[in-house]
Amino acid sequence: MPHHPAIARDRVAVITGAASGIGLAAAYRLAAAGMRIVLADISAEALAAAGKAIAASGATIRTVTADVSVREDVARVKAEADALGPVSLVMNNAAREGSGGILSGIDRWQATMDVNFWGVLHGVQLFAPDMIAADWPCAIVNTGSKQGITLPPGDTAYNVSKAAVKALTESLAHDLLATEGRVTAHLLIPGFTYTGFTRARGVSEKPAGAWTAEQVVDFMLPALAAGDFYILCPDNDVPRETDEKRIAWAAADIIENRPALSRWHPDYAAAFADYMKG
C-alpha cells in the first residue's frame, strides 16, 4: 500500500495521546513503515509500557511524559523529536472527554478546552514552522470528532472543543497551500471506536457497533495517501452514507433557517426521520 510521502523510513513521527487507543495503533503502523517514533502521553506508566512494546519490534522509540495543555511540555516533545531526526509527521491526537453541559463548572470546561483545543494548537504552532521551512514532505493530522460537526446535545464542552479543532485544522490546511502540497493538514474524524475512553466508562469488551483503534488507523493511512483532508471514518453501526446525511442536515439548519440542532428538535423529528429514509 502506498503511503503519504511524509510517512518515510527514518523520518520522525510524533504522536500525542500515544499510550493507548488510536495513538498507540498509529505508532505501531508508523513504526512498521520504518519511521522513528516519539510517543507522548500524560500517563507515564502506560507510556513506558507502550514504548517498550513497540521498541520490541526493533523500532526506534522515544517516550516523553507530557500534558499537551502545557505549552512547555509540548516544546519538550518537539526537542526530543528534533534530536531524533527530521520530523515529517505530527499527530495531535491527545484528548479528554468533556462530560459537561453549558452550565457545567468552569473547571471542567477549562480542562476540556485546554487539552482538546489548546493541546492541538500548541502542537501546530510549535511544529508547523519547521515543517514549512524544511525541504521534505510533511503532514499534520489532528484528531477531531463527528460531535464537533453535528453537535449532539448533552456533551457541550467536548463538542465545542472538537468544533474548534475542525475550524483550526481547516484554516491550517488553507494556509499550507503556500507550500504547494509539500506540507499537508488532515482532520481525522473517528466513528464509534473502542478506546481507553470506552473502557473508563466500564465497558470491558468492545461493543459490536464499535471499530477497534487499529481499524481507524488502517482506514486513515490510505486516506492520507489519497490526500484526503476530511478522514471521515465509519464504524460497524454507522455507514458513511448515514454520516453524510446527518452532516448535510446539520449544515442545512442555517440555509433553511431551522432552529438550532433541529435534528433533535421535537418539531422536526418527523421531518428528519423522513429525510433519513429518503
- Identify the DSSP state of 38: E
Buried/exposed code over 175-209 (b: 16+ C-beta within 10 A; e: otherwise): ebeeeeebbbbbbbbbbbbbbbebeeeeeeebeee
**What does residue 68 show for φ and ψ, rounded to 5 degrees?**
-65, -15
Residue 205 identity: E
Buried/exposed code over 88-127 (b: 16+ C-beta within 10 A; e: otherwise): bbbbbbbbbebebeeeeeeeebebbbbbbbbbbbbbbebb
Q: Are 112 and 156 spatial neighbours (Cβ–Cβ below 8 Å)?
A: no
Catalytic residues: 158
